[in-house]
Chain A
Amino acid sequence: MVKFILRRLIQMIPILLGVSIVLFVIVHSVPGDPYAYLFGPRIDPTLRDRLMEEQGFNDPLPVQYVRWLSATLQGNLGYSTRSGRAVADLMAERIPNTLILAGAAFFISIIVSIPLGVLSATRQYSFLDYAATAFAFAGISLPSFFAALVLIYIFAVQLRWFPMNQITTPGAPFSVLDLLHHLVLPATALALRDMAAYVRYTRSSMLEVLRQDYIRTARAKGLSERVVIYKHALRNGLIPVVTMAGINLPVLLGGAVVTERLFTWSGMGLLTFEAIGNRDYHILMAVNLFFAMLVILGNLAADVIYALIDPRIRYA
C-alpha cells in the first residue's frame, strides 16, 4: 500500500509538469494585455519597453516558462501583476476560507445524503423514496447559481435568519459562532448539487447490494436487519459514493467560483474570478496548478479509501 501511494505520488511529478506547460501556454495565449493596468494608457512607449525588458516580459515563452518553473520550485509563486502582492500570500489568505466552505459543504452533503439514500433504498417505492428522488432530481437540475439565489431569497431576505454576504460581521470581533452563522447559506448552496447526486448513487448501489447472495445469507443467519444493512450492505454500497466524493472534493474546492462570488466568500474561487478579469498570469498559474494537484490527490485518496473499505481491492 505504501509502495502504491509512493508510486502514485512520483507519477504526479510528470503529470504536473505537463499540466503546467499546457497551462502556461494557454494562459499566455489569451488575448489582452495584463501590463496595460501596470503602466497606464499614456506611458511613454520607451519607458514601457524598458520596464517590460527589465521584468522579462518580452522574452520568448520557453524562457519565461523555465524562469517561472525554477522560481516556483524554489517556492516563489510570483507576484500579482495587478496589485503587486505575493501570490503565495494571497493564496495563504484564501485557502483557509475555501477549506472552511468546501469542508462544510462536503460534511453537509455526506451527512444528509447517505442516510437519505440508504432509507430510500431500504424502503423502495415508499413516500420517502419518492420524496428523496424528487429532491435529488431537483438538486441535480437546478444550477447552483439559481439554488443559491432561492436560498438567499427565502432565508436571508424573507426570514432574515442568515446574512447573505461576507465571512464575518464587519467591525465585530471574530467569533466561531459568527463565522458559522455566515457559513450556513453558502455551504448549503454548495452542498445541494453533490447532495442530490450522492442520494442517487447511494440508493442505486444499495439496491444492487441488497439483492446479493451474501445479504440473503446474512439474513438467513438470523442477523437483525440493522446489522445486515449497516454492517454488511453499507460497506459495499458506499464504494461508488466514495469514488464520486473523491472526484468531487477537488471540484468542490476549485469549483466554488459562483457560490463564492454570490456570497462574497473570499476563497480560491473568488481569487480565480478576480484574476481572470485582470489577466493576472501568476495567480492563474498558481491557482490552476493547485487545482490540478487537488484533482490528482483527490483521485489518489479515493483509490486508497477503496482499498480500505473494499476487501476485494488490493494494490501491489
Chain B
Amino acid sequence: MKRNVTLLAAAVVVLLAVVFGARLLNRPAPTTGNPPASAGEPRQGGTLNLAMWNKPAGALNPIVVDDTYGENLQQLMYAKLWEYDGEFKPEGVLATHWEWDETNTKLTFHLNPEAKFFDGTPVTAKDVVFTYKAIWHPRYVGPRDAGWDDVKGYAEYSQGIKGETPENFADGFVTTDDIEGLYAVDEHTVVFELNQPNAAFLENQIVYAPVDSSKYKDIPVQDWGRPGDPYNIYPNGTGPYKMEEYVEGQYALLVANENYVKGRPNIDRVLYRIISPDVAVGEMQIGNLDFVELSPAELASYQAMDHVAIHEFPDLVFQHMVYNTVEGPTSDVRVRHAINYAIDRQAIIDNLLGGHGSTMYGPVHPLTWAYTEDLEKYEYNPDKARQILDEAGWIPGPDGIRVKNGQRLHLRLIYPNEGNPVRQATAPVVQQFLKDVGIEVELIGLDWPSLQQRAQYEFDFDLYFIGFQLSSADPDPTGLWDKASTVPGGFNTSRWWTEKSEELIAKGKATSSVEERTAIYHEWAKHWAEESPSYIFYATNTILAANERLQGFKPIPREYLWNIEDLWLLE
C-alpha cells in the first residue's frame, strides 16, 4: 500500500507540474538499477509492447520518413547495409563487409547473398543503386538529399541532366541503371565513387535502407510514402519484422520476419501503441509496456515499481543556446564570451536535470572518439563576464542594465515552449544569470512551427535554445557548423563560419586515419570555443524504464533496439 501512496503522490506531482508548469528542483539523485543477468536459453514467442506518444506522420518509406515514430517503425521493417553494434561500431547487416580503396575515394560494399526481402527474393546491388539514386532524383522532396556533393555524377543526376531519360527525370521515375559514382559490379557488389576523400561518408550518408526496386520502379519518387504508395505501410522489406496490422491513430502490430538476414527474432510480435505520455506510468505499472523513455521528473514513479529496471546513458543529443553571430550585440564575440562566463551550467544540470545530464565542453560530442576538453571551458565566472562587458564598452546604466552608445543590452531569447520541460525551465534561469551581469533578456516562448520559421528561416533572435541530435557517431560537423548550413532552413542558425573552420572541416574528411582526424577535430573544437557561436549546456541523458521480463536489452543512444533479434521475453 505504501508503494501505491508513493505512486499516487508521484502521479500528482507530475500532474501538478504539467498543469501549473511548476519546476521540479533539487530532486534526489537516483540510483541506476542493474538489469538482472539473463538466465537460461532465450525463449521464442511473446509480444514486445512499446509506446509512441504521437501517431506516425504517415510515411514509413525509409528514404521519405521524417518523424521519430515513422522512423522507429521503418527500422523494424527495413535493414540497412550496416548498423551500429552495442559499441557504436558499424557492423554489416545486408552487407557482409566493405572497403575503401587506397585513395579514400572508392567505397565498395559486398552484399550478403543470404539477404532477402520478405517475399524471398534476394537483395541485390541494383536495389542499392536504385534507392540512392531515388534520393538524388530531382523530383525527390525530403530530408535525405544533403551531403552528396562528393559523389561522382551526383550533380548532373540531381539536376536532371544525366542518368535517366528526360521523361523519367520529369515524371519522377527511377531506374536501376548505373551512374558514374554509383554502380553495381555484380549482383552482390556495389560501389560508391567520390570526387574527393570523405571519411565520414559511410557513417553520415550510407544510412538509408535499400527498398525493393522491382516494386518501386513503377511509382514516381515524389509519391513514395504518400497515400498512393501501396508499399508504404505494408512494404516488401528486409528488416526483422513485417507489418501485420496498422490502424492509423491507434497502433501498429508487426510480426517476426522468418527470412531476416541475422536470423528470425526470438520475439514473435512487436506492438507499438499510441498512448498519451501522461498515462505511460500507469501502463508500465500494470505491465502493458516493455520499455519506455522517461524524463528525470518521472523517475521516482518508475523506480517504485518492482518489475522495472532503469537504464541511463548519455544520448547523442545536446542542448545549446545559439548566438546570432551576424546581427545585434551577440555579433561581438566578446559579448558571447561574457555570456558564456555568466552561466553556471553545472547548476542547471544539478538543479533542473536532477544530475541527469553530462557536461559537454566544445562542439564535439563526448560519445565520439574526437572529444576533447583541451579548450576554453568557460567555467562559471560572473566577475570575468562583467569585466569583459566593461571592456567591450557596455557600461551599467542606472537600473543595472548595461548601455552602449545609448542602446540597452537587451537580448531576445527564443525557445520552444513545448516538447521539453527542462529546456523551458532553463530560459528563466538563464535570464536571471544574465541579469546578474547586467544583461536584460526578453523571453519569447514559441511553438515548433513558429520557432522554426523565426530561427531557421528569418534568423530573428539574439539567443535561441534548441536541442541537436547528431545523426551519427562520426565527429564530422558538416551539416551543423559549416558554411553551407548557414542558408535559411539550414541547421547552422548562428550563421557562424570562418575560413579556418571550413578548412579544418574539409581536412577532417580527407583522411580515413583516426589519429589524423582526431588531431584535426581537436584543433577545430578549440577554434570553435574561441569563436563561441553557441553555448552548450549539456548532453542529455536518456533514461529508460524496462520491464524485467525483457531479456538481453542493451540499449545504446537512439538505437534502443539495435539487437532486437536477440531480445526475448520471460514467460
Contact = CB atoms under 8 A, between A and B. Distances in A.
Interface of A: 30-34, 36-43, 45, 47, 51, 80, 82-86, 93-94, 143, 145-146, 149, 152-153, 156-158, 160, 164-168, 170-171, 261-264, 266, 270-271, 274, 277-279
Residue in B66, B273, B276, B447 with the greatest tally of chain A CB atoms within 10 Å: B276
B145 A40 contact: yes
Given A37-B66, A51-B141, A170-B251, A31 B283 contact: no
Nearest to B52: A264
6 contacts: A36-B452, A40-B144, A45-B488, A170-B251, A171-B271, A277-B448
Contacts of A277: 54, 448
Contact of A264 (B57, B250, B253, B488): B250
A33 B453 contact: yes
Interface in B320-364: none
Contacts, number: 143
A157 B250 contact: no
Contact of B58 (A83, A94, A152, A153): A83
Contacts of A86: 227
A122 to B, nearest CB: 38
A47 B245 CA distance: 37
Pairs of residues from A and B, 6 with the lowest C-beta to C-beta distance, nearest first: A32-B449, A83-B58, A266-B249, A40-B143, A42-B146, A31-B450
A168 to B, nearest CB: 8
Residue in A51, A84, A93, A168 with the greatest tally of chain B CB atoms within 10 Å: A84
A32 B271 contact: no
B417 interface: no
Contacts of B88: none
Contact count band on B: 35 or more
A111 to B, nearest CB: 27
Contacts of A51: 141
Contacts of A264: 249-250, 273-276
Given A31-B453, A42-B490, A145 B247 contact: no
A94 B271 CA distance: 22
Contacts of B90: none
A41 B456 CA distance: 9
A168 B279 CA distance: 17
B74 to A, nearest CB: 15
Contacts of B491: 41
B453 A149 contact: no
Nearest to B446: A31
A157 B249 contact: no
Nearest to A166: B250
A21 to B, nearest CB: 23
B39 interface: no
B143 A42 contact: yes
Contacts of B15: 146, 149
B271 A170 contact: yes
Contacts of B283: 164-165
B282 A34 contact: no
A266 B251 CA distance: 11
B271 A41 contact: no
Residue in A33, A36, A160, A170 with the greatest tally of chain B CB atoms within 10 Å: A170
A26 B279 CA distance: 33
A31 to B, nearest CB: 4
A227 to B, nearest CB: 48
Given A31-B449, A83-B59, A158-B4, A166 B273 contact: yes
B11 interface: yes
B138 interface: yes
B278 A262 contact: yes
Nearest to B146: A42
A60 to B, nearest CB: 20
A262 B276 contact: yes
